[in-house]
Chains A and B, each alone.
Chain A
């Protein structure tokens, strides 16, 4: 009895020591800019950029996913004067990952579960509530969602606001009145499926994918009619070709993706039925070819040894015809994924000069640590460049497209493996990058993390005991867990970086004022000089930021910048869920890396809107 108490005291004491030590570290690593040219160059982009109407109708801003606004009223010269204009409380102190949507002088904000949607009137002072919609989602959904109760935002199209709820519905509302137009049930929470992604609309179809890759589900993307919500097509990420919508049009570039029913044959018998490959990231669309692009999540179960094979079509990118859903090409970044490296990260569509000619490409900063430049008409990888410290891979073979692995870091039953870099959330998770045509640079928010996989221990699910692996995450070389990086996609080199103590889990926004906006997990909302990375302005919000900044022209003609503040998500659940960080495995491994996050921020759910005075 006595010894137990002593043990407890010792734990508390060590906890304090660690907190002090890391507070000391923070000064060193937080917000350290590396403006010196790191090899990359600024060269204005000469490709086309979608016309900007000053609104923000979808999370990605444009179909190409640039998250670039041509507004320049706020610029490097005056951003230091930026002030809060108004705020709005979502009422849910959970991870706020949504992009506010701005259209017709109204802003639409989706809150985490229970997924209320708020319409705010931008024409009136303080943007009062116009209406709100309560979908009354199932309570059971919270228990099924792996990584907090997030939602990544709505989409506007044709007089409608369309969004998804955690319990598996897609909902269309009249944008003016908030009246429910239709509601379609797509994901089955009793099977572990949820929906967290922001839908995208092309003409008369809205695209939606499922989440729940950690729960033995089978991933899919679906197209619904925007008029009535009826299912038009659904394409699975595993299983026979007819389920994956692979037919005559399918022309993958690499031979490893050619063959019949690879979504069955690259798995042990029937394993594809619970094989994962969910679709919870952002979609891109190229109107000239009518193709949509999206990534598929990691395969399941997590232990790779139980699923020998390439595990098609997980951890890869699909190009599909927007009308029929038929696959046109596929490329697998991480075949037979070993580390939970989802392929869901955003694909930014650019037309880049490439060895003397102009190529239509998509650029993606993948979880596996490589930035891929892929010919988006054929699926050929033009370059794959490492952008973080890695102990797990040695390169990408451009002849075969294959990721080259260091198998000494492959998880093996009963073995402890140390220094796995990057970790399960990868070099970069879902948090979206932006691109500025003025600098030709990508602004990529990402992680710098390593992990130890430790011994298994007993746990249970609904009466059945099992044995789980313990992951502990920690900062990679340099001691900073996060980094904002300006990347030259042509040279494949960094131009500047800003280090942050915590993983950067917010998206970025690039503007014609040469300002890049982003947020940090301890609650700073910052404006960086797009050319140097220098912090020009910062504001401390009430909670950690893991959302998507947007900008728009208000009814008064002024430029506004908006961000939701509210810690949560996979890593931030430490705070939002008040988890015990003494359990290094809390929040799937984050407990160790973010042991002091609870001391620097608290749960929140507030929208901040800024403007010049």
Chain B
């Protein structure tokens, strides 16, 4: 009994080092939020996570979480995982990596109408129901420009997560909405996935006169003091960027040229 116990003690530091060097890299990921991630790891962020983890010689592990309000404070900051995917570059409260894609909110119109609305000042917006993603207690940022241009009463907020991901796109295709302003990755993915005859036009200009941005450089995030991991990920991202861009393009995500880091 005593002998066995001693052996365990002796071996413990050795085992611990082995495990530590091979500690898996934990990514917080939503179990049902395509095109970003799902439990079957089919989202582009799932696939990019695997690429990046292997590049830093760690095993990728997904921690399935829904990231509602307070997620950063209540889960990420309590070390639920090491890395967040698809967060806006320079977001407060976390340390962000270099951006790995740059997308924008897009106007969604029916192809056969040949509208290609791009501006919130476009008079053809008048009288149309305008769909927006409802994000918890907010509507997406284009709501602010639409209020400014007098379209508040036309706004229709729609849940666009999980099983409802494609609803807003279908609603435009089927004429239940006159148009919609949707975050690029979601709009691109569901247009392709559901073979919808829709035109996607990035919002123009990309920054509202009030200063509200409509395009975002999207990065990964690590814990505030995890500069080492951030640096490792940046190195991996730089190396993998061509493959990442290819992958994102395969999901039909409308992208803009990458901006220089600010």
Contacts and interface: CB of A to CB of B under 8 A. Distances in A.
B69 A413 contact: no
Given A214-B69, A458-B91, A301 B211 contact: no
B126 interface: no
A216 B157 contact: yes
A220 to B, nearest CB: 17
A321 B236 CA distance: 65
A462 interface: yes
A580 B78 CA distance: 11
Given A462-B67, A583-B93, A192 B152 contact: no
B78 to A, nearest CB: 8
Interface in A223-275: 268-271, 274
Interface string A422-456: 00000000000000000000000000000000001
B213 interface: yes
Contacts of A301: 134, 137-139, 157
Given A268-B153, A303-B143, A577 B73 contact: yes
Interface stretch (B54-62, B82-90, B109-117): B82-90
A462 B161 contact: yes
A143 B66 contact: yes
Contacts of B183: 463-465
Interface residues of B, number: 59
A126 interface: no
B144 interface: yes
Residue among B69, B148, B156 with the highest chain A CB neighbour number at 10 A: B69
Interface in A136-151: 140, 142-144, 146
27 contacts: A146-B69, A214-B69, A215-B68, A216-B136, A269-B154, A269-B156, A270-B129, A271-B155, A301-B134, A301-B137, A301-B138, A306-B143, A306-B152, A413-B147, A414-B144, A456-B212, A457-B92, A458-B88, A460-B67, A461-B136, A462-B33, A462-B161, A463-B45, A466-B140, A580-B73, A580-B93, A586-B73
A543 B50 CA distance: 44
Nearest 10 CB-CB pairings of A with B: A463-B36, A414-B210, A302-B137, A463-B86, A458-B88, A465-B216, A465-B88, A461-B135, A143-B66, A305-B147
Contacts of B67: 143, 460-462
Interface size class of A (residues with CB under 8 A): 35 or more
A190 B162 contact: yes
A191 interface: yes
B70 interface: yes
A467 interface: yes
A308 interface: yes
Given A215-B69, A464-B133, A583-B92, 15 more contacts: A144-B68, A191-B159, A214-B69, A216-B157, A268-B155, A271-B156, A301-B157, A305-B147, A414-B144, A460-B88, A460-B91, A462-B67, A465-B218, A466-B135, A577-B73
Interface string A521-534: 00000000000000
Interface in B94-148: 129, 133-141, 143-144, 147-148
A300 B212 CA distance: 21
A459 interface: yes
B139 A303 contact: yes
B244 to A, nearest CB: 15
B66 A140 contact: yes
Given A192-B136, A214-B136, A577-B70, A466 B141 contact: yes
Nearest to A458: B88
B193 interface: no
A456 B210 CA distance: 11
B152 A305 contact: yes
Interface in A447-495: 456-468
Name the prevailing secondary structure of the B interface residues. Answer: mixed
Interface in A295-322: 300-303, 305-308
A303 B156 CA distance: 14
Contacts of B45: 463
A462 B75 CA distance: 14
Interface string A188-204: 00111000000000000
B138 A303 contact: yes
B135 A274 contact: no
A295 B86 CA distance: 39
B211 A414 contact: yes
A32 interface: no
B65 interface: yes
B47 interface: no
A142 B78 CA distance: 14
A579 interface: yes
B140 to A, nearest CB: 6
A274 B73 contact: no
B224 to A, nearest CB: 10
Interface string B215-251: 0101000000000000000000000000000000000
